[in-house]
A = this chain, B = another copy of it.
Amino acid sequence: MQHFDSDYMEGAHPKILQRLIETNMEKTTGYGTDEYCKCAADKIRVACDCPEAQVYFLSGGTQTNATVIDALLRTYEGVIAAKTGHISSHEAGAIEAGGHKVLELEGNDGKVSSVEIESYLKTFYADGNHEHMVAPGMVYISQPTEYGTLYTKEELKKISQICNNYQIPLFLDGARLGYALVAEGTDVTLSDIARYCDVFYIGGTKVGALFGEAVVITPKAKIGHFFTIMKQHGALLAKGRILGIQFDCLFTDNLYINIAENAIHMASKLREGLRRKGYTFFIESPTNQIFVILENQKMKQLSENVTFGFWEKLDDEHTVVRFATSWATAEKDIDELIELL
């Protein structure tokens, strides 16, 4: 049986486990105040080319989104996001639980454009009743998006400019950021992200860690008391070092980038195989998620030997399914999958 459901199906990269073993019996202070967290934060600051950034480690994506958004918004503000954004549809109301509305834009292929954002903001402030409405207080985007698509540097820059014009922060959800950074054809680097976003996070859970996300708050954003805000959100791990050690490892010797490349290579191989066999893609995605259209008959047959993500019904006879590769995907498994298709 082959498994391509998602990119969080395995444990951690062996080097991470190795470091956890090596450091296991050391005694350190808690809550991320230890040396491993400091060291990991330093390496991340270097990698982002953002020496003044605050860096914090949290456990998972939904938690990180809810905590950051709550920290950035005032009570009467909401967050602009694509309708397909993770916070819009797949976080069980975590943003609303913090009291904030997600202001949903249609978007395209999972992305929102600077034009769409600007149009929303203009229309909002032109409306004579806007004081009766939720004020747009920030913009949320993901790189890659839920559909595996990517913003270009130019797109990021433009969105950033709109946000600057309206003086609202830009937050980037990087749950799968590694896979974006090494995607073929991308021109966006980690330092570009630090330049154009106010806050973003570097996903560990889906890129080699047991769990963990590294939040980077650039000097543009200035969030006070983030430690307390994390605590209030139940997002402060007692043994914070477990996160620090993992990110220290991921940002040593370029590990984060190197292992992300495997996912991209495996995805490319699979994409090519699918194309060769005449399959149609639902969307052209350059990262580790492949959305392909299957005849229902074929899908059923395939599911006897492979697990994958059921994405959406296309019509009565076709379904969109998702295959996800990861840092851990083995080439032989891709070969086997292509054969089965």
Contacts and interface: CB of A to CB of B under 8 A. Distances in A.
Nearest to A230: B92
Contacts of A94: 231-234
A134 B131 CA distance: 27
Contacts of A234: 59-60, 62-64, 66-67, 94, 233-235
Given A100-B93, A211-B242, A237-B59, A229 B8 contact: no
Contacts of A25: 10-11, 328
Contacts of A96: 78, 96, 99-101, 134
Number of this chain's copies in the complex: 4
A232 B60 contact: no
Interface stretch (A37-45, A68-76, A292-300): A68-76
Contacts of A28: 9
Contacts of A90: 129, 132-133
Interface in A91-109: 91-94, 96-102, 104
A341 interface: no
A26 interface: yes
B30 A8 contact: yes
27 contacts: A8-B239, A11-B25, A11-B26, A11-B239, A14-B24, A31-B132, A71-B75, A75-B75, A75-B97, A90-B129, A91-B231, A92-B132, A92-B134, A92-B228, A92-B229, A93-B134, A96-B99, A96-B100, A97-B233, A101-B101, A104-B104, A133-B228, A135-B225, A135-B228, A205-B239, A211-B237, A211-B239
